[in-house]
Amino acid sequence: MVTMSQEEYAGHKNKKCPACGSKKIDPQGTETYLGVATQEIGCDDCGSLWKESYSFSGFEMLIDSNKEK
C-alpha cells in the first residue's frame, strides 16, 4: 500500500520508500531512452520496488569550444 503521494515523495527528495517510509532504499542502475531516464529502486525493509522517471528539459552550454575568441 502506498503511504505517500507523488508530491510527498518528491518533497522527501526521493530518499524514502513510498510504501512504508523507510530510508533503507537501494537505487539500481539508471537507463536512458529518448530523453527520459529511469531508475528502479527497492526497499530493504518492506521489499517494495518502484521506478523513478526523469524527463529531459533542456541544456545549458557551459563552454562552447567552437566559439571564436
pLDDT in tens, 34-58: 889 999 999 999 999 999 998 888 8
| Contact (Cβ atoms closer than 8 angstroms) between residue 16 and residue 31 | no
Q: Does the pTM exceed 0.75?
A: no
DSSP strands (E only) in 21-64: 25-33, 36-43, 49-55
- Among candidates 4, 46, 52, 51, which has minimal Cα distance to 24? 46
Half-sphere exposure (CA, 13 Å, Cβ side) for 54? 11
